[in-house]
C-alpha cells in the first residue's frame, strides 16, 4: 500500500493523522488503517464519489473504502484514486492563486 501510494504521489509527505499513515501534498491526500477484517482507505468523499462505479464491489461510506483482508489489494485502483487526489489538490491550489 505504501509503495503504491508513494508511486502515485511522488513528493507527498508521509505522516500520521488520527493515528493512521497519511500522505499529504499541501493538504491530506489519503490515509489508511488496518482493521481486523479489512483495510480502511480514506481518500475523501469527492474521490469515493468519482470512483463510485469502480468501487461497487467494495463496502464504501461517504469518505471511506473497505478492502477485505482476504483478497488482494486493488493496487491499480488505489493508484488511480491517489492520482485523482493529487490532481484535485493541485486544482484547489490553482483556484486560490492571484
Domains and CATH numbers, the chain: 2-86 (3.90.1150.200)
Distances (CA, A) of 64 to 46, 75, 91: 10, 16, 22
- Which residue carries 492520482 as its cell? 83
Q: Is the pLDDT of residue 96 over 60?
A: no
Q: Over the stretch 7-66, which tens digit does the pLDDT of each residue have?
A: 999 999 999 999 999 999 888 999 999 999 999 999 999 999 999 999 999 999 999 999
The whole model's pTM is what?
0.91
Residue 93 confidence class, pLDDT cut points 50, 70, 90: low
**Cβ-based neighbours of 79, under 8 Å, separated by 6 or more:** 4, 5, 7, 8
The pLDDT of 1-5, averaged and rounded, is 95
Amino acid at each position: 500500500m505504501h509503495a503504491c501510494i508513494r508511486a502515485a504521489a511522488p513528493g507527498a509527505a508521509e505522516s500520521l493523522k488520527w493515528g493512521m499513515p497519511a500522505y499529504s501534498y499541501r493538504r491530506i491526500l489519503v490515509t489508511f488503517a488496518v482493521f481486523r477484517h479489512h483495510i480502511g482507505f480514506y481518500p475523501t468523499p469527492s474521490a469515493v464519489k468519482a470512483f463510485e462505479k469502480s468501487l461497487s464491489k467494495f463496502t464504501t461510506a461517504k469518505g471511506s473504502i473497505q478492502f477485505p483482508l482476504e483478497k488482494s489489494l486493488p493496487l491499480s485502483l488505489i493508484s488511480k484514486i491517489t492520482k485523482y487526489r493529487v490532481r484535485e489538490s493541485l486544482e484547489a491550489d490553482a483556484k486560490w492563486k492571484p
